[in-house]
């Protein structure tokens, strides 16, 4: 299922537009938090850390529900509640409230309700140290909405942040749940449906629906992927194999010298034209080296193109791509080489890049994003860090080129490729080499 991602501002608007009162939203949030804890553990000792705002308010509500479920609950508050809602939630709790400090005793279950979307500055050093200590001593840690210390829209860590087992996002995911470095601190991320109903162009990329192959179809129906080799054969060979194993009907490699070790089914030729009507998608860049004329050649084709790696570095001006049908797959360095320094969060940068070249941009990294010029933004679910090894990007470009050649729309193909790539890495284990990803592709495509 696709999960919506809302920014801080969108979340606040959605809260105001909700059909029920804010108090009711908080009641549902606290109840959902209690439910999540009860699902993960039999009744035992719980420590709720309550902050001064509504995140703290959620904590008081959760405490009440957990106690009703038989949990032995303590609350340690950083300060008295400040918002009206939090004051009400505090009043409805008739148990004791400790003052949070150096001497606060840990418990096997820790619920962090210190700060959520309202965090405006780093936690004080002493508070951050206390939070780290209590989380370390707990067996099950859960963050309410966001781990405290994380900036909602950028995913930046403003102070030391524990790595939680579970984060319960309230109403919708926020960018930080799917941006580095914050995402690795969230653990499993569940969304509590508290009655917020807001649409957004931002979402977490979900398992794709791939185009079915026609039973009576021929190889071109399944997509002809045309790759242009350059100076280094290894990278384009990986991309070609990935294309073939992602279900392309035909993979053809233009190369001046035959590349050894490729399956015979991948056709290698030094003859041919990028004008071939049957081409479903061109792929240029992996191992291209310093042969920028390949970019010019590809751009003469009236066909979809994937530009990866060296091709991205050699495009020159992003506006050159306007009017063409291109997917770009830059990592951080390649994005900078083509677009220069762009201000803002990774999400902002991805969207600006897509706008400037008027094409789909797959902005890779530990937190890969897929941006479309119309403002759609897909956030990859977490993928194994074992992907940080040479050649995995070449595999990704091969997968995306195939999905494009199979008839998927550019944005859909890019999102689907990123999802499949991440799942292939999960199957390949750790450590992995790029070739292992290819072996996992047939089951996923
Ligand atoms: N969005 C929604 O629909 C709902 C939001 N709720 C909760 O409300 C939260 C947002 O509540 P708030 O806007 O009150 O914000 P928070 O509760 O996240 O924190 C804001 C409070 O903390 C103080 N503060 C911020 N950074 C601090 C720091 N580093 N050190 C010390 N004090 C600091 C602020 O001055 C303010 O008093 C959400 O994360 C969520 O948990 C829920 O109650 C229910 C529904
Ligand atoms: N720490 C990480 N966690 C998850 N995925 C990662 C991480 N580092 C890199 N990746 C992914 O691995 C791939 C690396 O691609 P790229 O940087 O182009 O490498 P190469 O050029 O060697 O193929 C990208 O899909 C990227 O998103
Ligand atoms: K929190």
368 C-alpha to center of ligand 3: Å?
25
Ligand 2 atom 21: residue of nearest CA: 393
Query: pLDDT of 375-423, one tens digit each?
Result: 999 999 999 999 999 999 999 999 999 999 999 999 999 999 999 999 9
331 C-alpha to center of ligand 2: Å?
7
Query: pLDDT of 24-39, one tens digit each?
Result: 999 999 999 999 999 9
pTM of the model: 0.97
- Across residues 327-354, what is the average pLDDT? 98
Ligand 2 atom 18: residue of nearest CA: 393
Residues with CB under 6 A from ligand 1: 11, 15, 25-26, 29, 51-58, 82-83, 115-123, 144-145, 170-171, 194, 196
Structure tokens at 374: 């119309």
pLDDT of 1: 83
Measured from the alpha carbon of residue 159, the closest ligand is 1
- Across residues 89-110, what is the average pLDDT? 98
- Across residues 257-279, what is the average pLDDT? 94
Ligand 1 atom with the smallest distance to the CA of 159 is: 29
Structure tokens at 182: 């914050």
- By the 8 A CB rule, do 427 and 442 touch? no
> Which DSSP string corresponds to 328-365?
EE--HHHHHHHH----S-HHHHHHHHHHHHTSEEEE-S
- The ipTM of this complex is 0.96
Query: pLDDT of 210-247, one tens digit each?
Result: 998 888 998 988 999 999 999 999 999 999 999 999 99
Ligand 2 atom with the smallest distance to the CA of 390 is: 22
Q: What percent of the chain has pLDDT over 90?
A: 96
Q: Annotated binding residues, as ranges?
A: 54-58, 112, 116-122, 145, 148, 235, 287, 331, 364-368, 393-394
> According to DSSP H, which parts of 246-308 are helical?
293-299
Q: Of 30, 33, 378, nearest to 175 (Cα)?
A: 378
Query: pLDDT of 282-326, one tens digit each?
Result: 999 999 999 999 999 999 999 999 999 999 999 999 999 999 999
pLDDT of 361 strictly over 90: yes
pLDDT of 213: 84
pLDDT of 70 strictly over 80: yes
Q: How far apart are CA 151 and CA 68, in angstroms?
A: 33
């Amino acid at each position: 299922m696709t999960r919506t991602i809302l920014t801080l501002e969108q979340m606040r608007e959605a809260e105001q537009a909700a059909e029920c009162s804010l108090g009711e939203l908080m009641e549902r949030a606290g109840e959902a938090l209690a439910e999540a804890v009860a699902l993960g553990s039999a009744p035992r000792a719980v420590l709720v850390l309550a902050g001064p705002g509504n995140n703290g308010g959620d904590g008081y509500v959760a405490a009440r529900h957990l106690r009703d479920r038989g949990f032995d609950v303590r609350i340690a508050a950083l300060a008295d509640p400040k918002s009206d809602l939090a004051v009400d939630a505090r009043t409805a709790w008739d148990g004791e409230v400790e003052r949070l400090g150096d001497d606060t005793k840990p418990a096997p279950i820790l619920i962090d309700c210190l700060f959520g979307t309202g965090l405006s500055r780093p936690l004080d050093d002493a508070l951050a140290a206390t939070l780290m200590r209590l989380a370390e001593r707990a067996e099950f840690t859960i963050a309410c909405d966001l781990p405290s210390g994380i900036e909602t829209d950028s995913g930046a860590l403003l102070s030391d942040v524990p790595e939680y087992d579970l984060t319960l996002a309230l109403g919708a995911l926020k960018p930080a749940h799917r941006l580095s470095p914050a995402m690795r601190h969230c653990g499993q991320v569940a969304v509590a449906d508290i009655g917020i109903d807001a649409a957004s162009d931002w979402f977490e990329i979900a398992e794709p629906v791939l185009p079915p192959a026609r039973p009576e179809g021929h190889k071109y129906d399944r997509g002809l992927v045309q790759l242009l080799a350059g100076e280094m054969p290894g990278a384009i060979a990986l991309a070609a194999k990935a294309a073939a194993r992602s279900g392309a009907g035909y993979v053809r490699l233009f190369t001046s010298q035959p590349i050894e070790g490729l399956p015979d089914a991948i056709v290698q030729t030094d003859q041919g034209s990028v004008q071939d009507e049957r081409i479903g998608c061109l792929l240029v860049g992996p191992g291209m080296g310093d042969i920028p004329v390949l970019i010019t050649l590809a751009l003469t084709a009236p066909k979809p193109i994937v530009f990866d790696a060296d091709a991205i570095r050699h495009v020159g001006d992003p506006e050159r791509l306007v009017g063409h049908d291109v997917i770009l797959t830059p990592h951080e360095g390649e994005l900078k080489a083509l677009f220069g320094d762009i201000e803002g969060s990774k999400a902002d940068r991805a969207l600006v890049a897509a706008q400037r070249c008027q094409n789909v941009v797959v902005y890779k990294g530990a937190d890969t994003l897929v941006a479309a010029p119309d403002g759609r933004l897909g956030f990859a679910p977490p993928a194994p860090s074992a992907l940080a090894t040479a050649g995995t990007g070449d595999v990704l470009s091969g997968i995306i080129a195939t999905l494009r050649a199979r008839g998927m729309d550019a944005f859909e193909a890019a999102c689907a490729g990123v999802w499949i790539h991440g799942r292939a890495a999960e199957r390949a284990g750790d450590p992995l080499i790029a070739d292992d990803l290819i072996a996992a592709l047939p089951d996923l495509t």
